[in-house]
Amino acid sequence: MDFRSRPRHRNAGSYHHGELRQALLAAAAELLAGGGSDAVGMREIARRASVSHAAPYRHYANREALLADLAAIGFEQLAARFAGLPAATTPERRLVEMARSYVDFAREQPQLWRLMFGNTLDKTQHPALLDASRLVLANLRATVEALGVPAPATHQTLAAWAFAHGVARLVLDQRLDAHLDAPLDADALVQEAAWIFLRGLRHT
């Protein structure tokens, strides 16, 4: 490896940061997790990276591009999570596990999930986001078709996504607890919802 070909990180005192893009993303991720996408500001992440307020514009055309990059990383994480799912004994169990995995992701990184699937970003403007979400959908479609639904199981696949997505949203939404007498058991809700879906799919 040629170490001189990629500049190492410089400590304070040097004019060029060297790994600014990474530093910006790290700061942005922190702000996102802490206060939602509104809390991610160009000037603030520059401050956290100990860099001038306009430096981020050497790496991102504008704030939206930065957020899109954050979301794209989130999609990669989600895809990796699906890829790392243990081999399931039956297609049914696999679908349940995917749903649980999706909702777990949303619960662990709620603000990132909101950024990825919310209305903040116009995904049509960011091809990387399209590709990433396409991958996830293809994965889901394969699982649904393994259940015995004849390909292309378009509507059924979308219904499955809608189901998991809706459950994730309800689980995240604190509003829910206010509606219920007892606190919500998220795992049980995911499980039950997935089974309703599976039974509904089978008895056609």
Partner DNA sequence: GGATGATGTTGACAGCGTCAACATTGCGCG
Partner DNA sequence: CGCGCAATGTTGACGCTGTCAACATCATCC
For residue 33, state whether it binds a second copy (rule: CB under 8 A).
no
Give 3-state DSSP helix, strand, coil % of the chain, rounded to 5: 70, 0, 30
Judged by CB, which is closer to DNA: 59, or 123? Answer: 59
Length of the chain: 204
Distance, CA of 45 to CA of 57 (rounded, Å): 11
Q: How far is the CB of 192 from DNA (least distance, A)?
A: 41
Binding-site member from 1, 5, 11, 179 for DNA (CB under 7 A) = 5
Residue carrying structure tokens 């400590």: 11
Distance, CA of 81 to CA of 68 (rounded, Å): 20
What 8-state DSSP symbol labels residue 49? T
Two structure tokens written together for 37: 């996408």
For residue 188, state whether it binds a second copy (rule: CB under 8 A).
yes
Binding mask 61-100 for DNA (x = CB under 7 A): xxxx------------------------------------
Stretch near DNA under the rule CB under 7 A, chosen from 60-68, 121-129, 140-148, 167-175: 60-68
For residue 124, state whether it binds DNA (rule: CB under 7 A).
no
Write the CB contacts of 118 (distance below 8 Å, at least 6 apart in sequence).
Answer: 37
Two structure tokens written together for 16: 């060029």
Distance, CA of 132 to CA of 56 (rounded, Å): 24
Q: How far is the CB of 102 from a second copy (least distance, A)?
A: 11
Judged by CB, which is closer to DNA: 55, or 164? Answer: 55
For residue 188, state whether it binds DNA (rule: CB under 7 A).
no
What 8-state DSSP symbol labels residue 10? P
Binding-site member from 7, 35, 118, 166 for DNA (CB under 7 A) = 7
The residues binding DNA (CB under 7 A) are 4-7, 10, 14-18, 20, 40-44, 46, 51-55, 57-59, 61-64
